[in-house]
Amino acid sequence: MEESSKVIHAIYTDDDVLMSAVKKVKAEKHHIEEIYTPFPVHGLDKAMGLAPTRIAIAAFMYGCVGLTVAIVMMNFIMIEDWPQNIGGKPSFSYIENMPAFVPIMFELTVFFAAHLMVITFYLRSRMWPFKEAENPDTRTTDDHFLMEIAIHNNEKELADLLKETGAVEINIIDKAH
Amino acid sequence: MYTFSNKLKTFSIALIILGLIGVGYGFMTSHKSLDDVKTMLAEESSAHGGGHGEVTAHEVVAGHDNDTHSENKGAEVSEHHGDEHAKHVQHQIANRPWSALYVAAFFFMMIALGVLAFYAIQFAAQAGWSPVLFRVMEGITAYLLPGALIVLGIAVASGTSWLGGHYNLFVWMDPEVVAHDKLIQGKSGFLNMTGFIIRGLIFIAGWCTYRYFARKFSIAQDNADVNDNRNFKKLFRISAAFLVFYIYTESMMSWDWIMSVDPHWFSTLFGWYVFASMFVSGITVIALVTIYLKSKGLLPHVNDSHLHDLAKFMFGISIFWTYLWFSQFMLIWYSNIPEEVTYFVTRFQDYQLPFLGMVVMNFVFPLLLLMNSDYKRIPWFVIMAGIVILCGHYIDIFNMIMPATVGDRWFIGIPEISSIMLFAGLFILVVFTALTKAPLLPKGNPFIKESEHFHY
Work out the minimum CA distance from B244 to partner chain A, whole angstroms.
32
| Domain boundaries of chain B, sorted by first residue | 6-452
B203, with CB counted inside 10 A (0-12, 13-18, 19+), is: buried
Residue of B nearest to A54 (CA): B372
ipTM: 0.89
> Predicted confidence band at A1 (pLDDT cuts at 50, 70, 90)?
very low
SS3 A10: strand
| Cβ contact B164:B135 at 8 Å | no
A142's enclosing H/E stretch is: none
Quote the CA–CA distance of B115 and B122 in Å, as a whole number. Answer: 10
Work out the minimum CA distance from A87 to partner chain B, whole angstroms.
10
**Identity (one letter) of the amino acid at B358?**
M
Taking CA atoms, B274 is separated from A153, B145, B271, B320, in Å, by 70, 19, 5, 11
Mutate to test the interface with A, among B305, B312, B324, B334 (most CBs of A within 10 A): B334
Q: What mean pLDDT do residues B287-298 have?
A: 94
Q: What mean pLDDT do residues A58-72 have?
A: 97
B328-344: pLDDT as tens digits:
999 999 999 998 999 99
Is the per-residue pLDDT at B78 higher than 80?
no
> Predicted confidence band at B79 (pLDDT cuts at 50, 70, 90)?
low
Work out the minimum CA distance from B154 to partner chain A, whole angstroms.
37
Residue of A nearest to B368 (CA): A60
Is the per-residue pLDDT at A76 higher than 60?
yes
Mean per-residue pLDDT over chain B, rounded? 89
Q: What mean pLDDT do residues A55-66 have?
A: 96
Work out the minimum CA distance from B269 to partner chain A, whole angstroms.
18
* Nearest beta carbon to residue A102 from set B326, B336, B371: B326
Q: What mean pLDDT do residues B359-385 have?
A: 93
pLDDT at B21: 96
For A111, residues 6+ apart whose C-beta sits below 8 A from its C-beta are A66
Taking CA atoms, A44 is separated from A48, A122, B437, in Å, by 6, 21, 44
* Nearest beta carbon to residue A100 from set B334, B371, B373: B334
Check A100 against B371: CB less than 8 A apart: no
Q: Which residue has the higher pLDDT, B38 or B189?
A: B189
- Crossing angle (nearest 10°) for helices B134-141 and B70-124: 150
In chain B, residues with a C-beta closer than 8 Å to the C-beta of A102 are 326, 330
In chain B, residues with a C-beta closer than 8 Å to the C-beta of A56 are 373
| Cβ contact B397:B285 at 8 Å | no
The 8 Å CB, 24+ separation contacts for A169-172 are: A169/A9, A169/A10, A169/A11, A170/A8, A170/A9, A170/A10, A170/A11, A171/A8, A171/A9, A171/A11, A172/A6, A172/A7, A172/A8, A172/A9
Residues of B with CB under 8 A from a CB of A: 326, 329-330, 333-334, 336, 371, 373
- Crossing angle (nearest 10°) for helices B270-295 and B230-257: 130
Quote the CA–CA distance of B209 and B17 in Å, as a whole number. Answer: 31
